[in-house]
Amino acid sequence: MSAARAVLDAFVALLSAAGDPVPVAVGHGGGDDGTEGADRVTVGVLALERVGRSHRRGAVLDLCLVVDVAVAGPAAVETAERLLVALERGPGGAATSPVAVAYGPGVLGFTARLPVAVPLDEPTPPLVTQPPVVEVGVADPIVGRLVDAQGRGISGAVVRSASSGTVVTTGEGGGFRLLAAGAAVEVLVVQVRTETRRVEAHRDRVPLVVVWPGDGP
């Protein structure tokens, strides 16, 4: 059973208990159910509105079921009074907000707004059973110069550290400075114009001179 239908059934049961022995039925409202002259109560559904979302013991879609209640028959005044008193005292109380409606001679009525809560399934993140492990390394700058086979500096080349991902561009005379992981031998990815090569840089060689094109692809 849907949440809205359950709320409607509970509302009808509340009216039935308060209006007894007057019968309460779900219909089109307005009091016209083919039993003219008899005391009767008819509940009609007008709308099911979205109010919003909330989190009450989980995700909830908040709806509002709008219904009208038509009370007809010789005892319509007395019956309507009993119903309104029951709504005021019953579950939800003034939250139903009855509003008077005029249906015509011999028929009294009101509308009510009934809150409906529909549970929603929301994805939950996986539980973390272990503390996060963070590896910390010390960055160490590499200061060097990129030259060609004749020892001439190459400016405008792109140099990237394979360990830290730091990228720099060589300046005038081929000089560069970038952070790396601190290994004795650092692998540099060097790009000169459209050609890229991996070059080994030995930190113990001071000053550090990287010769292009190097030995590997």
Q: Specify whether 93 is located in the same domain as 20.
A: yes
Whether the predicted model's global pTM rises above the 0.75 cut: no
Q: What percent of the chain has pLDDT over 70?
A: 79
- CA pair distance 136, 129, nearest whole angstrom: 22
Residue 96's pLDDT is what? 63
**How far is residue 99 from each of residues 9, 75, 90, 109, 152, measured CA to CA in Å?**
20, 20, 17, 8, 92
> Domain range for residue 158?
140-211
Query: Residue 40 in contact with residue 72, Cβ under 8 Å?
Result: yes
Domain's final residue, options 84, 119, 154 = 119
Q: Specify whether 13 is located in the same domain as 109.
A: yes
**Quick check: is 135 in a domain?**
no
Res. 88 pLDDT band, cuts 50 70 90: confident
Query: Domain of 83: which CATH number?
Result: 3.30.2000.10
pLDDT (tens digit, 9 = 90+) per residue, 146-157?
888 888 998 998
Q: Specify whether 155 is located in the same domain as 103.
A: no
Residue 23's pLDDT is what? 92
- CA pair distance 191, 63, nearest whole angstrom: 62
The region of weakest confidence among 2-6, 122-126, 148-152, 199-203 is: 122-126
Residue 127's pLDDT is what? 66
Mean pLDDT score of the chain = 80
pLDDT (tens digit, 9 = 90+) per residue, 50-79?
888 887 777 888 898 888 899 998 888 888
Q: Specify whether 115 is located in the same domain as 9.
A: yes
Using the predicted structure, report yes or no on whether residue 182 has a pLDDT greater than 70.
no
Based on the structure, what is the number of domains in the chain? 2
Query: Domain of 206: which CATH number?
Result: 2.60.40.1120
